Amino acid sequence: MPPVINTIETLLVDLPTIRPHKLSMTTMACQTMVIVRMHHSDGVEGIGEGTTIGGLAYGPESPESIKTNIDTYLAPLLVGQPSCNIQALRARLNRHARGNAIAKSALETALLDAQGKRLGLSVAELLGGARQVHLPVLWTLASGDTEKDIDEALLRLEQRRHCNFKLKIGANPVDQDVRHVAAIKEALGDRASIRVDINQAWDEPAAVRGIQALQDAGIDLIEQAISAREHAGLIRLSQRFNVPMLADEAVQDARDGFELAAGGFSGAFALKIAKSGGLYGVLELAHVAKAAGIGLYGGTMLEGSIGTAASLHAWATQDDMAWGTEMFGPLLLKDDIVVEPLHYHEFGVDLPQGPGLGITLDEDKLSHYARKY
């Protein structure tokens, strides 16, 4: 008899951040993760993570809704089903439940982790094999204070932990944000690549003015300057400026990627397993991007070690991540819930080794940080 899914448990886990993390729509001082523990009839446990940013400030799924929807709607679709045929289970979830990409990603991660443990293979091997085992990782400067951000960047360079930096802007007037970014770029010079993420805060006229100034300041990449729904405007911006545009919230899945590419978008796509409903979905988007000559960027929802490891296994299967990754989520947290944290060094992070995700939960830490009801 093939193994079946016996039970699916979800926990809300609250971990404080090392400093306030300022975005255009909110400021974070704590990250809440939904941890999935999936138990199978052969005794194997698979783990997964569903994480978003700032409750409902960022998107339609919150940690609480992710947990509730898994417990109430999604888990009953999986319990009792054979656990090895992951594609059939993906189809079952998508047939009976619309949206809920983050929740589905957490469940798919747990399925892949269990299957890898069962077969003695890493998740990257299940996906075809790792083509790289050390991936570059940038760091986000998001204190909102220019001098603090410069000092933080210089420290990360000295530590050889990061040499590329992203600045979160959009909460302030355009000219103020541009001055902030330009001052940091001038201070760091050619020692680091500087990118910006506007998190959809500008309309198109403001974006034209702001991007021109950012391009003049030597910024290397502009992420999601306008609303995710404004595909035509994003295409126009990509064609108007020399500095590349990075589509993030505008490109959820392979269909979004195809529509942008067919419309003439150039630049890069931010891949996120949470946006695409899991690792298989995000790799479908990566294939569309590569076919269209659009660069890849490994994005994050500021996941902890479990969600970050899952993403790394997907990114590792790609031969070229032209814009690197931002898988720094665990470094933004004051503590961890895994036995062995991810290894960050030499401006990047190592792909975890071992079967499945290569991650083991620290039961004491998990119990300490899990939300009590």
Ordered by start, the domain boundaries in the chain are: 5-125+362-369, 130-350
- pLDDT number for residue 26: 75
Q: What is the CATH number of domain 5-125+362-369?
A: 3.30.390.10
CATH of domain 130-350: 3.20.20.120
CA R_g for the chain: 20
3-state DSSP assignment of residue 13 = strand
Encode pLDDT of 290-348 as tens digits. 999 999 999 999 999 999 999 999 999 999 899 999 999 999 999 999 999 999 999 99
**Two structure tokens written together for 344:** 């960050």
CA angle 179, 295, 241 (to 5 degrees): 45
For 235-292, how does the pLDDT look when each residue is reduced to its tens digit (9 = 90+)? 999 999 999 999 999 999 999 999 999 999 999 999 999 999 999 999 999 999 999 9
At 327, the amino acid letter reads: M
What are the tens digits of pLDDT across the range 56-73? 888 899 999 999 999 999
Catalytic residue among 223, 249, 303, 326: 326
196: β partners? 167, 222
DSSP state of 346: T
Q: Which residue among 168, 185, 272, 275 is the active-site one?
A: 168
pTM of the model: 0.97
CA distance 199 to 74: 30
Confidence of residue 29 (pLDDT cuts 50, 70, 90): confident
pLDDT of residue 57: 83
Tokens 């404004």 sit on residue = 230
- pLDDT computed for residue 25 by the predictor: 67
What value does the mean pLDDT take over residues 173-180? 97
> Is 168 in the active site?
yes
Please give the mean pLDDT across all residues of the chain: 96
